Amino acid sequence: MKIALLGHGNVGRGVSGIIDSGNTGFTKQLEITKILVRDASEATDERMVFNIDEALDDDIEVVVECLGGIEFPFSCISKALNMKKHVVTSNKKVMATYYDQLIALADKNDVNIIFEASVGGGIPVMSNIRHTKRVDEISAFSGIFNGTTNFILDKMYKEQKPFREVLTQAQKLGYAESDPGDDIDGHDVKYKCCLTGNMVWDTSLSLTDITVFGIRTVNQKDIDFGKRHQSTLKLIGRGSKNDRQVQIFVIPEFINDNDTLAHVGSNLNCIVFTSTNLGIASYIGQGAGTFPTAHAVVQDLVSLLNGEDLKISTDEKFAINNKEYISRFYVRTENLVYFEDYIYKKIDPDTIITEPMDLYKLKELIEKTADKNLFVAGVSL
């Protein structure tokens, strides 16, 4: 199967590394014949080309997109689908942003678009969803979808290091981008939960309806509160469905130490599904990194090679409504005045546990405080 690889950075290099070595399983039947890089200064072998039209010649059956970003990959993927080439991508942003259009375009051209690597990196999230759905209905998912924030929270918990110091360390180790906003503000998890929800419930969910809280303002006091209550702070993405409504949100949570998620350390991911017959099944592994992520991309290529049924449906229509998720919340802010009527327990002058409320009420109160340093987390005290 002839492949055009778009992008030769962390993931792209891993993909060409695995396929070019050609010595394991099905990789012998895969061949990369074109690699799109930015310009001649990046060309290290004769397969490299510098514009998308050169990459998409007639022999190519599959295009693998590992560029990153949104608009340029969207135009490359659209072009490839319109030329009736299958597409494999590791790019959650472009998939979650243009899900409807891309799935429809693949359908119209009778080809597949698949994106295993875009959620959970090396963990087989999408193929497990396909596998589980053959027999079962998945009612909910939850988990640690972002390795960078897990690394930061884990170091703060185990080594009592300040947030900024651990973030810098994560950047040096290549876990965090130079602009870490998508990770620490929860948007990376939002894209992944959107794609997970879409696949689980055969739908196309609106990214903007997902409620998101991040960990940008977390400090040692918050971590220590968890320790005192046999809990570990984690950034969690959750999705569940009842009737025609789906709840999806991203929020730091104090996870009880009896729960598996509390013990998933370092930069690992852990994604948990609840389904009718299988019950609860958790998948733990490397959510990023060159070779784990490339492994997932190559698995997608093998699925195409084997002619598996990879059609994706968006036929079900669900609205996101996070009103039904009711919880107590840990809130730390200098400006507690707007929370006065909702205090369940005062921890100290700037920290409370709220009475149970839904996420929209929480958001409304947080916005009123206008406190950029406010930190909020779900808590089950």
Q: Which stretches of the chain bind ligand NAP, using CB under 6 A?
A: 7-12, 36-38, 66-68, 72, 90-92, 117-118, 121, 288-289, 293
Q: Write 344-350 long-range contacts (CB < 8 A, 24+).
A: 344/381, 345/381, 347/225
CA separation for the pair 23, 253 (Å, rounded): 44
Q: Which residue is nearest to ligand NAP (CB)?
A: 9
- Tell me the closest approach of the beta carbon of residue 36 to ligand NAP, in angstroms: 5
Query: In the bound complex, what is the minimum distance in angstroms from residue 10's beta carbon to ligand NAP?
Result: 3
When the beta carbons of 41 and 258 are compared against ligand NAP, the nearer one is 41
Cα 301 to Cα 195: distance, rounded to the nearest angstrom: 19
Question: How far apart are CB 245 and ligand NAP at their closest, in Å?
Answer: 29
CB-wise, 288 or 374, nearer to ligand NAP? 288
Structure tokens given for 126: 């999408």
CA distances from 269 to 14, 187, 194, 205, 241 (A): 20, 16, 17, 23, 22
> Nearer Cβ to ligand NAP, position 90 or 198?
90
CB of 120 to ligand NAP, least distance (A): 8
Between 68 and 378, CB nearer to ligand NAP = 68
Cβ neighbours, 10 Å, residue 170:
23
Largest CA distance in the chain: 68
CB of 233 to ligand NAP, least distance (A): 23
CB atoms within 10 A of CB 175: 23
**Sign of the alpha-carbon torsion through 318, 319, 320, 326:** negative
Alpha-carbon dihedral sign for residues 322, 328, 334, 339: positive
Annotated active-site residue in 92, 93, 155, 192: 192
In the bound state with ligand NAP, the residue whose beta carbon lies nearer, of 90 and 247, is: 90
- C-beta of residue 346 within 8 angstroms of C-beta of residue 352: yes
192 is catalytic: yes
Residue 365 exposure: Cα atoms within 13 Å on the Cβ side: 25
Residue-level length of the chain: 381
CB 192 within 8 A of CB 119: yes
Beta bridge partners of 254: 233
User: Shortest Cβ distance from residue 28 to ligand NAP (Å)?
Assistant: 24
Residue 192's closest CA among 266, 293, 112? Answer: 293
Give the shortest CB-55-to-ligand NAP separation in angstroms. 9
Nearest to ligand NAP of 50, 344 (CB atom):
50
Residue (186 or 289) nearer to ligand NAP, CB: 289
Helices (H), the chain: 10-21, 52-55, 71-82, 92-97, 99-108, 125-133, 147-159, 163-172, 181-184, 187-201, 220-228, 290-305, 359-369
Task: Fill in the amino acid letter for 231.
Answer: S
Which active-site residues does the annotation give? Answer: 192
